Amino acid sequence: MSNFFGTDGIRGEVGTSPITADVLLKVGWAVGSVLREKVGNASVIIGKDTRVSGYLFESALEAGFLSAGVNVGMLGPMPSPAIAYLTQAYGATAGVVISASHNPYHDNGVKFFSSKGVKLNDEIQKAIEKKISMPMVSVDSSSIGKAKRYEQAVGRYIEFCKSTFDKSGDLSNLKIVIDCANGATYHIAEDVFVELGASVLMINNSPDGYNINHECGATDTRHLQKEVLENKADLGIAFDGDGDRLIMVDHTGQKVDGDELVYIIAAAWKKSGDLDSNIVVGTKMTNLGIRKALSDIGVNFIEADVGDRHVMKELINNKAILGGEGSGHIICLNKSTSGDGIIAALQILEVMSKSGKSLLELKGSMTKYPQVLINIKSEAKIDLKRESKLTQAIKTIESKLSKNGRVLVRESGTEPLVRVMVECADNDLANESAQQLAEIIKSM
């Protein structure tokens, strides 16, 4: 079993390898064995989102870790970024999240954080993959790990989130609708924002194991947009299933995506002198309009590969503190060690509070280019670089777009999809070009 780790950990459909109880039992043992070899006495904490399969895989991973002689702390449903924080707070060797993030309930996955609250590096991942290929051998009875539940984890994380909001800020005049995607923030988000003074209406905060991300949350904001308008709220906040993505909605019902939110934070921190290294990290998908707006205010933009792990790598390499993706992964390294939807939302609300401006006004200081994104299902592996018909079509379209647009065709790192993106000032040209490329890929 090699190349286990995708863009964001191990992920797939429940019941299909590697997302089965027997495989994840061995993954727990393999990770635990590598940790013991590196640090001796090791401990991990395990959190999960609200998928029904989380109970199954929680038990499998727990057994695997214990059989490797690693102590386990069970946290129950918790956002992924909470695990990043609590791994450090509890002094654990590693943190484990059972989640498929924004995917439907029938998918699940596992991702890991180091003792410093960041994703495991490539060296550790390779060691784990090598261990997985070996026979599973349990430690002797005297060395089996112990397990316990951490009952105070939710409260600790709530207080941590609140601590990232400037106490001079005031949310008492804001009415906010919060969409938890029936995911891991369902029992956390309300307390954070209410305790900071906001008036809050909660939606999609009743998980049943099957409704996570279903027509709600950061991947589908239609319900949130409707509620914001009907309740005359000042804004809406949407998280995804594991709480590491943030999408917002302004008071007119317009969606505000991750690119726009990163720009709002960057502009405020640039003005206050808090933008370390004067750099913002985005990805190949970051909108051209955001890039130009950042340039206009004198902020340097660095492009990373798609995926928050790659954004994080560029942040660290460039000693920068702010990065993100249009999908809503926003990393504020001066506040947290990972992308965190709640903490990112608090930074936006702090900017609103201090500036006295609405989300619509803040968003209006930059203009996004129209961006057409088409996802094509592709079960078979396609060598995109070797498909001459596709590469020629891309070159032809790029010459039409000139400097006022761009084309990106890539395979998804988390789903069996090929993603086609065309971006330019002319929306009709973007649509026409994206459809042309999509048809070529479908015919392969």
Q: CA 366, CA 376: separation in Å to the nearest integer?
A: 30
Task: Give DSSP secondary structure letters for 233-268.
Answer: -SEEEEE-TTS-BEEEEETTS-EE-HHHHHHHHHHH
For residue 293, give the nearest of 273, 332, 266 by alpha carbon.
Answer: 266
Which amino acid is located at 298 in the chain?
A: G
The two three-digit tokens of residue 33, written as one number: 């064995």
Query: Of the residues 80, 101, 336, 433, which is catalytic?
Result: 101
Please give the torsion angle defined by the CA atoms of residues 256, 109, 302 and 284, in that order, rounded to the nearest 10 degrees: -70
Which amino acid is located at 441 in the chain?
A: I
Q: What is the DSSP letter of 403?
A: G
For residue 306, give the nearest of 373, 383, 380 by alpha carbon.
Answer: 373
101 is catalytic: yes
Q: In what order do the strands lie in the sheet with 147-149?
A: 10-13, 107-114, 94-98, 43-48, 71-77, 147-149
For residue 331, give the nearest of 238, 258, 255 by alpha carbon.
Answer: 258
Q: Which residues are catalytic?
A: 101
